[in-house]
């Protein structure tokens, strides 16, 4: 089953819903970062949430960054999505391992650790990105995302995220949903939605049963007149390229470049999101430095 993001509305357009199935993208993240199970689950949940939130961005070239900074052993977790929900991410300490809460239940909350903060940066290609930040309430990510919507965007929301890991540490299932109440939703709708979420139960159980993103939405919105709007593929995607890395090195400036040439002779840059390695020879670095000199001269003219 390929990864999908599915969007729907319910309750006469007053509830916005999105769900994701993301086993392949979370497994890709696990392989890139060589995460142990609790780190796989924490990073995976962040990737799933960022993807769902990113897919709602209005600007086609916009991006959304989700950062979870707890005080537990995992350190900072970062996930970035484009407007299509294609995500990438990394975390500080991928090799963290802590005891399970119960058999099969990874203790993400403890590994993330309280106190901490969840920060969302929406870049809509305007002058300033929009940033919102809230204190973590559990470190389990799903609840923290819902709290973010309530506190930072004054939007009642429900969010559930799940990542299941097999005995060989590979991801066996991953997915979740995000429901938000739009302006105009009545108190009655809010109550009905709460009841539905409660009746749906833990999303990890539904994932283990093999439920797809569409089935998750139709089940959690059962009785609320859901209408599926779209279903699109998503993936783990890093837009890094040699050109971008080159630009980043050039942005260090002439003095830094000179130091690099003198001290290392060449440059090796590893992308933190996808582990791709970019190498630049001494000749390339020197020509970059020459290029900067040219530009400076042009600026003066």
Chain positions contacting Zn ion, by CB under 5 A: 238, 240, 271, 273-274, 276
CB of 240 to Zn ion, least distance (A): 3
Nearest approach, Cβ of 241 to Zn ion (angstroms)? 8
Question: Is the Cβ of residue 95 or residue 248 nearer to Zn ion in the bound state?
Answer: 248
Q: Which residue has the tokens 């993807």?
A: 51
Instruction: CB nearer to Zn ion: give 254 or 276.
Output: 276
Give the residue with the Cβ less far from Zn ion, 90 or 177: 90
CB 186, min distance to Zn ion, A: 46
Residue 235 CB, nearest approach to Zn ion (Å): 13
The distance of closest approach from Cβ of residue 95 to Zn ion in the complex, given in angstroms and rounded to an integer, is 21
Nearest CB to Zn ion, comparing residues 236 and 273: 273
Minimum CB separation of residue 84 from Zn ion in Å reads: 17
Q: 90 vs 200, which CB is nearer to Zn ion? A: 90
Q: Pick the closer one to Zn ion by CB: 153 or 250.
A: 250
């Amino acid at each position: 089953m390929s990864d999908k993001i599915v969007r729907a509305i319910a309750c006469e357009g007053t509830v916005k819903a999105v769900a994701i199935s993301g086993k392949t993208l979370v497994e890709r993240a696990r392989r890139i970062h060589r995460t142990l199970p609790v780190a796989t689950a924490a990073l995976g949940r962040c990737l799933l949430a960022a993807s769902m939130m990113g897919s709602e961005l209005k600007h086609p070239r916009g991006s959304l960054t989700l950062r979870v900074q707890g005080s537990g052993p995992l350190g900072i977790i970062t996930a970035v999505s484009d407007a299509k929900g294609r995500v990438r991410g990394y975390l500080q300490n991928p090799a963290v391992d802590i005891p399970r809460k119960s058999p099969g239940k990874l203790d993400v909350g403890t590994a993330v650790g309280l106190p901490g903060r969840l920060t969302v940066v929406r870049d809509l290609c305007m002058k300033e990105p929009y940033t919102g930040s809230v204190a973590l309430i559990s470190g389990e990510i799903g609840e923290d995302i819902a709290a973010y919507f309530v506190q930072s965007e004054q939007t009642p929301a429900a969010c559930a995220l799940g990542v299941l890991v097999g005995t060989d540490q590979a991801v066996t299932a991953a997915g979740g949903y995000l429901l938000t109440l739009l302006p105009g939703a009545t108190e009655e709708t809010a109550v009905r939605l709460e009841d539905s979420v409660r009746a749906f139960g833990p999303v990890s159980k539904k994932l283990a049963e093999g439920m797809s993103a569409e089935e998750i939405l139709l089940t959690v919105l059962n009785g609320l007149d859901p209408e599926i709007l779209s279903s699109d593929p998503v993936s783990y995607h890093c837009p890094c390229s040699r050109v971008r890395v080159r630009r980043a090195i050039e942005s260090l400036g002439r003095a830094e470049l000179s130091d690099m040439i003198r001290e290392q002779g060449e440059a090796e840059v590893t992308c933190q999101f996808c582990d791709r390695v970019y190498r630049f020879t001494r000749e390339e670095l020197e020509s970059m430095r020459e290029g900067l000199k040219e530009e400076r001269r042009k600026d003066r003219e």
